[in-house]
């Protein structure tokens, strides 16, 4: 089952390249990266409202939401920074370089999160194989950018 989930995530990963490319074109049309990012999130918001309606999820209890630790709300901010940055950098260095660097950054951060069990997640210690994989990705960024 793990291999099926991994394949599904691999396919979903292709959405980032497509999303970044489409958002860059949207930004060209709208004439500003932040406007492209805003429209991206507005469409995403509408889709999420629709999905919540389709799956009949309950409206969050706002009393409970207000008691959540502040950092749990950073995901939306980080997503906005990520999408805006991708839109900004794709025309400058290309989709492949942007996503290679983003993936390497994600894996470096993920390794720290896993190793220390940050945010209450299970611990998965970093090991030489994971370090080698990250170093290979960093080397890949160099090769992608050079050639």
Furthest-apart CA pair in the chain: how many Å? Answer: 54
Q: What is the pLDDT along the chain (147 residues), one digit of tens a residue?
A: 899 999 999 999 999 999 999 999 999 999 999 999 999 999 999 999 999 999 999 988 999 999 999 999 999 999 999 999 999 999 999 999 999 999 999 999 999 999 999 999 999 999 999 999 999 999 999 999 888
Q: What distances in angstroms separate CA 100 from CA 17, 48, 69, 142, one per listed residue?
A: 10, 28, 32, 10
* 86 SS3 class: helix
Neighbours of 87 (CB within 10 A): 27
* pLDDT at residue 146, as a whole number: 87
Find, among 101, 121, 103, 102, the residue nearest to 112 by Cα. Answer: 121
* pLDDT at residue 59, as a whole number: 86
Question: Where do the domains of the chain lie?
Answer: 2-146
CA–CA separation, 22 and 145 (whole Å)? 22
């Amino acid at each position: 089952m793990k291999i099926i989930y991994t394949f599904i995530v691999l396919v979903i990963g292709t959405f980032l390249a497509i999303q970044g490319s489409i958002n860059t074109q949207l930004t060209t049309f709208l004439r500003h990266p932040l406007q492209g990012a805003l429209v991206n999130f507005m469409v995403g918001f509408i889709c999420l409202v629709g999905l919540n309606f389709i799956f009949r999820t309950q409206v969050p209890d706002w009393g409970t939401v207000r008691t959540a630790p502040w950092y749990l709300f950073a995901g939306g901010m980080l997503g906005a920074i990520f999408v805006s940055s991708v839109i900004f950098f794709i025309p400058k260095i290309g989709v492949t370089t942007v996503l290679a660097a983003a993936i390497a950054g994600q894996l470096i951060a993920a390794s720290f999160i896993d190793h220390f069990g940050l945010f209450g997640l299970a611990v998965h210690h970093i090991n030489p194989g994971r370090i080698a994989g990250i170093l290979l990705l960093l080397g890949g960024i160099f090769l992608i950018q050079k050639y």
